[in-house]
Chain A
């Protein structure tokens, strides 16, 4: 049963990922990204990471993809991207050769070290009397409290940065920039 769930979710993940990078229409790419994220959420559930599966769906599929779609709609859908033209000459054969080499190395590694086994039932992640959320929060708010607080500062900085970047400059500031360097705002 585990194996079947893994295969189905893994195929959904990979097909979605391939769709993200190959779809010509950015809106289709965003919807394929949702498929990938749901596949990953299923993989999380299978490994007893129930809280993270919920976070994955809410934060990624809910917030991040909506933000992507919002920006795509705002910028207008461009479908004229040509995926068959290389920016560098000979890039594609070199990439295929190196990719095959890496695949070979990975397969060699897998053949020599095949690590499987039952997850430790005595471990904290799936103990019977504690739920996943309880275990996770216990280590998040004790041992990893400092990184947790640092994350909140990071989010604050990101919010301030996004607001400052997306804000339209005022008329006075524009005049200032024009005075300093007329080349910078020629596209306005």
Chain B
């Protein structure tokens, strides 16, 4: 089996996710890019778990999926709240706490 190939794929996926978080202005798209980054982490965990020949990587990937689900729930609530207050989900306009 291949380890480095999976790690390279995960690195590429993570970089695409980082680009999405930095470049997109739509709050929903930013949350989707965060999902991409979390999935890159999952690929790494599973690849190392298969390489080591045990299930511990899979256990941690399961935790990551649970945390991602919780994150999406709260993140979506925050996006809805921003939309309710500003009538837009453009994150550049959300600068109330800028110093």
Q: Which residues of A contact B (CB under 8 A)?
A: 2-3, 6, 10, 13-14, 17-18, 20-21, 26, 29-30, 33, 36-37, 40, 43-44, 47-49, 51-52, 55-56, 59-60, 63-64, 67-68, 71-72, 74-75, 78, 81, 83, 87, 95, 99, 102, 106, 110, 113-126, 132, 135-136, 138-140, 144, 147-148, 151, 154-155, 157-159, 161-163, 165-166, 185, 187-188
| Docked-complex contact B50 and A161, CB < 8 angstroms | no
Taking the closest CB of chain A, its distance from the CB of B20, in whole angstroms, is 4
Interface size on B, residues (CB 8 A): 69
The answer on a CB contact under 8 Å between A120 and B63 is no
Q: Is the interface of A mostly helix, strand, loop or mixed?
A: helix
Tell me the nearest residue of chain B to A3, going by C-beta.
B2
Hey, what's the 0/1 contact readout for B61-99 against A, CB within 8 Å counting as 1? 111011111111110111111010111110010000000
Contact partner of A78 (CB less than 8 A), chosen from B6, B20, B26, B35, is B26
Q: In the complex, A56 Cα to B58 Cα: how many Å?
A: 12
**B positions within 8 Å CB-CB of A:** 1-6, 8-9, 11-13, 15-17, 19-20, 22-26, 28-29, 31-33, 35-36, 39, 42-43, 46-47, 49-56, 58-59, 61-63, 65-74, 76-81, 83, 85-89, 92
Q: Which residues of A contact B65 (CB under 8 A)?
A: 52, 55-56, 59-60
Report the minimal beta-carbon distance from A136 to chain B, rounded to whole angstroms.
5
In the complex, residue of chain B having the shortest beta-carbon distance to the beta carbon of A113: B4
Give B38 Cβ to nearest chain A Cβ, in Å.
9
B58→A136 contact, CB < 8 A: yes
A43 contacts across to B, CB distance below 8 A: 6, 9, 43, 46
